[in-house]
Chains A and B, each alone.
Chain A
Amino acid sequence: MSSGLYTQLLDLACGAFLLAAVIVLWRHELAALVRAFALQGVALAAIAVFLGGHEERWDLIAVGLGIGVLRAGVLPYLMRRALAALAADRGSEEVRETQPLVNVAASLLTAALLTLLAYAVGRPLTRLDPTPAAHALPVGLAVVLIGFFVLATRRRALAQVVGFLLLDNGITATAFLATSGVPLIVELGVSFDVLLAVLVLQILTTRMREAFGTTDIDDLRELHDR
């Protein structure tokens, strides 16, 4: 792969990666959140594959494809199943993220500030080794921060799961861009961790719905009010 084309493709994948995080903040429907997350998984896999293709490391390409299967296939499938269970149970009420704690316009502006912050923080790192991958590093940091923000401001359990996965996507992207590829065994461990976490969270969501009839975190007052 020629250097100019590689830079462009990597930049494009990073742009799509960041855009997916923004769409998660923008949309109200939980189904749209899951779709945006799947798009982000594809972009993340593309980042890994482009890096592997540039350095001609086949293990990295394999890791990238594995990430693609997990994050664009398995995890969205699990979330969609949980969503279908919610929709069948409670009608259309639960399927919308009705009221995030911060309204959408304000959270979009916050995301803009977080992106700028990530860029400011990432500058010394970029200056250490000015390769195209290092230049894209702040994108990974920005997605980590946006993931934190989603985790903190959303009320439905499933939206919080998306926030958690956004955070993890950001961490993975940062790892790839900073080290140009983590070892296969580390990535496998992380991926299984994430899969396990989502399965546990899915069971937790189901239990919450059975116990309280909703997954709105704010309704869970009984734990400390009595």
Chain B
Amino acid sequence: MNGIGYAAVVGQVVVVVGGAPLLAGWMRQVRARLEGRAGAGVLQPWRDTCKLLRKEPITPAGTGPAFRAAPALLVATTAVATALVPLLSTDTPVSSHADLVVVVALVALGTLALALAGLDTGTAFGGMGASREMTVAALVEPTILLSVFALSMPAGTTNIPAIVAGAAHHPARLASPAGLLAVAALAVAVLAETGRIPVDNPSTHLELTMIHEAMVLEYAGPDLALVELGAQMRLTLLLGLLSSLFVPWGIATSGSWGALAVAPVLFAAKLCLLGAALATAEVCWAKVRLFRVPELLAGSFLLALLAVTASYVLNGAP
């Protein structure tokens, strides 16, 4: 049993670290095809990463420890959160520590590290990107917390593996109004947190619109590779969290090798579908103005709050 549990944790981290660039490449490829381009191929982000890792590390003059530590901190916090969130199995040695608040705090710590690094460079863009990022983050974190609280009410705990296992055994919990409102709220929050298109455009370097890119402009070489990898891992982690919470089938709920062998395949399939859907949506949508972003996030916060209220008011939950 314990061997299987550790294998599941290691598997989760390996799948996310190895798969995150592939997911990013897959999404870029889908986008390219929909826009009528040939695309660079699914492996391109990995090639970029390898190229950047071979370069000489350079830090701008006058930057302090925050700038140097941020990429490693970003990747490390995301990796720890990945080990905690039940992506492949709910029955792991660390599953008793996988509290919702811990996971959200780990994600927020990565955001904070990057924002500090943006401030540390002392450039106009860095500070601007950091302040925008913190504005978005301040609105996103409560939304993520609230929408998962709506799901944790029927389960009676904020332990994410327990919520996922409960949902896998009682699928009726997910079809309730609380579940539907929560998935809508969490989807918007995930888009904002990972800097995807209605909030931020990940492929632009236009100074007026960018949020995430403005903070990491000064990075080069291996540090840039780590920052990119961290951003891709966060996208994979949060999409994985979304799929685990709302489509929990296929995640191993008991310690058996068979279930654990099936789980990565289904996980990859779910993420491919989600990524393709997201890429399709990004082709169709336009980025909203920065001043309308709080509106969008207030809307998703309201949906999350309604989800909590609904799971309390309506008869679906005791």
Contacts and interface: CB of A to CB of B under 8 A. Distances in A.
A36 B305 CA distance: 20
Contacts of A136: 313-315
Among B176, B298, B301, residue most surrounded by chain A Cβ atoms (within 10 Å): B298
Interface in A79-138: 103-105, 108-109, 111-112, 115-116, 119, 122, 132, 135-136, 138
B316 interface: yes
Given A109-B298, A119-B313, A138-B313, A22 B176 contact: no
Contacts of A15: 176-178, 180-181, 310, 314
A8 B176 contact: yes
A51 interface: no
A8 to B, nearest CB: 6
Nearest to B311: A11
Interface string B280-318: 000000000000001100110111011001101111100
A19 interface: yes
B206 interface: no
A148 interface: no
A26 B302 CA distance: 10
B145 to A, nearest CB: 15
A115 B314 CA distance: 13
Chain B: number of interface residues, binned into ranges: 20 to 34
B177 A108 contact: no
A150 B303 CA distance: 18
The A interface, classified by DSSP as helix, strand, loop or mixed, is helix
A108 B301 CA distance: 9
B315 A135 contact: yes
Given A104-B298, A105-B295, A7 B175 contact: no
Interface in A124-178: 132, 135-136, 138-139
Among B175, B178, B302, B303, residue most surrounded by chain A Cβ atoms (within 10 Å): B302
A32 to B, nearest CB: 13
A135 B298 contact: no
A18 interface: yes
Given A8-B172, A112-B306, A19 B314 contact: no
Contacts of A112: 301-302, 305-306
Contacts of A132: 314-315
A12 interface: yes
Contact of A22 (B294, B306, B313): B306
A47 interface: no
Contacts of A18: 177, 306, 310
A108 B315 contact: no
Contacts of B181: 15, 19
10 contacts: A14-B177, A15-B180, A16-B177, A22-B302, A103-B295, A108-B299, A109-B298, A109-B302, A115-B306, A136-B315
Interface of B: 172, 175-178, 180-181, 294-295, 298-299, 301-303, 305-306, 309-310, 312-316
Interface of A: 4, 7-8, 11-12, 14-16, 18-19, 22, 26, 103-105, 108-109, 111-112, 115-116, 119, 122, 132, 135-136, 138-139
